[in-house]
Structure formats: structure tokens, C-alpha cells
Amino acid sequence: MSIPIIFLHRTDDDYLSFTLRQAKLASPESEVVLIGNASNSKYASMGVRHAMIEHYHSGATEFASVYKHMSPCEYVYNLFCFQRWFILRDYLRQNNLSQCWTLDTDVMLYANLNREEFKKFSGEFTWTTFMSLQELEELCSVTINYFKNPRLFEELKTFTKDTGNYIHETGMLALSDMVTQRLYLEKYLKRDRTHGIIGSSFFDNNLYFSFPGVEILENRKKLYLINGYLHCRKENSTEFFKVNSVHFTTTANKKYIPYFYGPSLTPLTNGTFYFDYSSCRWIPTRV
């Protein structure tokens, strides 16, 4: 049975049309779902299904009643980052689904997510992850309990600081869903990390980061297109990683998304190219 790919988004952004359709191109057997609102329902086309957040919001509403804001991020934004896991859990429950992939809407996908070996990549990145319904049930239970229980909330604050999620200049905590997911992974799942690396391929954590040790161009990963497939070259090496996804973090990077959409790359299926961020062009090269 194919695994659905689920995105959550509350606004209408042009890049959605590319990230959603790219997921369908990369993993054609998967149902691609956008859980959103009326403003982005127009993206329900070309194999993409739309669902309304409000129909799966009961758990998110319960969590909002115990949420305590400790973050430099905007209240509504940070709250929704937590709530999305409850919305996702309730969507799986109501649609009798036992598993899914969930991707942030600024992630472009280049791998078929129905491959069994990819399932080990679970609970590490909030922006790209496989999740079973059981894991979602447990994650939501852990999250709400740590906010509800005063003793556990103090532990959560300590864990937040101990894992470096605070502003060093002010000491202000940055308590986000990335913290509670890490807490769940380390203290409950106790699972070995893949760090997004599966064999000779990887799921990108952030376009600005060189991890897993690849070449950088203009403060971003240097991305190659080799015979139609995305790659990154390891630093000081002739070896390449195949790229399973690219996380186009920040508004500055989202402008590049259309240049990484499958049909835009079709004329470049033969040969080797790299993407030049300054000119927004794929430049022929030798490797």
C-alpha cells in the first residue's frame, strides 16, 4: 500500500503549486494531500487532494488551551507548529490511515517515499519525516503532557536549554515543536539517528547548511543536476550524494523553487549542470 504525503499550510503562496506537484512527480503512487483552508484549496488539482484544517482541529484546540509561549517566534506561528501534529494525527485517525510522510511546504521532493528503507527516517526532522499513527499518538501525548504537568514542563524547559534552544545573548528559551520531537525521539523512541542520510542519498535539513559535508556555493549547498537527477558533491572529494529533497528555508530561498520543478528540468536530462543562485540559471559543467 502506498504511503500518503501530507502537507499543512494556512496561506496562499505561489510556491505551493510547485512543491505539491513535485511531490506527486517524485512519488507518483502516493496520494498527496494539502491540509489547508479556503485560500489554498485551488491547489487541489493534478493529483493533489485538499482537506480543511478546521475538520481536524479538535486535538489542536485542546493543545492550545495548555500551550505556554516561550519562543522568539510569533505566538500564532509557534502555536501552529505544535498544533500541526495534532491535526495530522486526527487526519490519520479519521481517514483510517496507519502511516504517512509529512513535509513542510518549502520542501521539494526528488525520491519515491514508498521505499521501505526510508521508513527508518522517522521523528528526526519536523520538516520531512515518516510517521506512523502510533508514533503520532505518542508524540501528541508526550507534547500535551509536558505542557500540562507543571513538573514535566520544568523538565521541558531544562531540556530546551540543555539542547541549545535558547537565545545566548538574552537567555530566552526557543521552545518549539522541534524540541518536543527531539525529546520524544531521545527519551521515548531511543532510536538511532539517520540524520537524513540513507545509503548514498540524503534528505536535506537546510539549504544554508553544508551538512552532510557537501560543497557550498553562495552560502548554500551547491546543487548539481547529473543526467536529470539532483546531487551534491562531498567536500574535497569526487564522490556525490543523491539528493532526496531540498529544504528551501526562508523567503530568500523560496524564489528558487520554480527552477527545481521537474518539468523545468526536463530540457537538462542529459549532461551535468550546477545551479547558479545569482543568475537563477543551470550552468553546464564538468565534474
pLDDT (tens place) for every residue of the chain, 287 residues total: 799 999 999 999 999 999 999 999 999 999 999 999 999 999 998 789 999 999 999 999 999 999 999 999 999 999 999 999 999 999 999 999 999 999 999 999 999 999 999 999 999 999 999 999 999 999 999 999 999 999 999 999 999 999 999 998 888 999 999 999 999 999 999 988 999 999 999 999 999 999 999 999 999 999 999 999 999 999 999 999 999 999 999 999 999 999 999 999 999 999 999 999 999 999 999 98
* C-beta atoms surrounding 156 within 10 Å: 23
> 32 - beta bridge partners?
5, 48
Amino acid at position 196, single letter: G
- Note the pLDDT of residue 287: 82
Q: Which helix (H) or strand (E) covers residue 201, if one does?
A: strand 201-203
Cβ contact 218:277 at 8 Å? yes
Q: Contacts by 188-192 with C-beta closer than 8 Å and gap 24+? A: 188/138, 188/142, 189/123, 189/135, 191/122, 191/123
Question: Could you give the C-alpha distances from 42 to 20, 37, 38, 54, in angstroms and in order?
Answer: 12, 10, 8, 17
**pTM value?**
0.95
Cβ contact 19:6 at 8 Å? no
- Note the pLDDT of residue 49: 96
